[in-house]
Amino acid sequence: MSDVVTDTHALIWYLEDSPRLSRAANKAFEQCDRGEIVIYIPTICLVEIVYLQERGRISANMKAQLEAELMAGTNGLVLANLTSGVVDALATIPRDNVPDMPDRIIAATAMHLSLPLISKDSRIPLSGVSIIW
């Protein structure tokens, strides 16, 4: 498997070791844990994690857990910044196809990096991004 980008829900389920993660998605995260592939985390995922923590929908220490994973550098998790290239890719994704702005940014990140996206979101394939689920 090649490098991939992750959606927020997949990242959260990975960090929670949740059974909601599909077999293919879990395999990608396991390969990342072994350093075989890189999984890019769009920075908007950090924003969504903070938002979900504030709403009490996920663990209050999820962002700290993710930051510890990133700082440890023992796996292939890497932040993918919101760049002008991602914004240019975003402009090619019709809002009617992917109406949620964070989802469009995540899809645009995968598009900009020319990588598949780990996501269960049924609307994201309408952006033309290849999905792993």
Give the position of tokens 């920075």. Answer: 43
Burial class from Cβ neighbours inside 10 Å (0-12, 13-18, 19+) for residue 114 reads: exposed
Q: What is the pLDDT along the chain (133 residues), one digit of tens a residue?
A: 799 999 999 999 999 999 999 999 999 999 999 999 999 999 999 999 999 999 999 999 999 999 999 998 888 999 999 999 999 999 999 999 999 999 999 999 999 999 999 999 999 999 999 999 9
Strand pairing category for 77-80 and 39-42: parallel
Q: Alpha-carbon dihedral of residues 31, 127, 18, 50, nearest 10 degrees?
A: 110
Rg (alpha carbons) of the chain, rounded to whole number: 14
Q: What is the pLDDT of residue 115?
A: 98
Select from 3.40.33.10, 3.40.50.170, 3.40.50.1010, 3.40.350.10 the CATH code of 4-117: 3.40.50.1010
Q: What is the pLDDT of residue 73?
A: 82
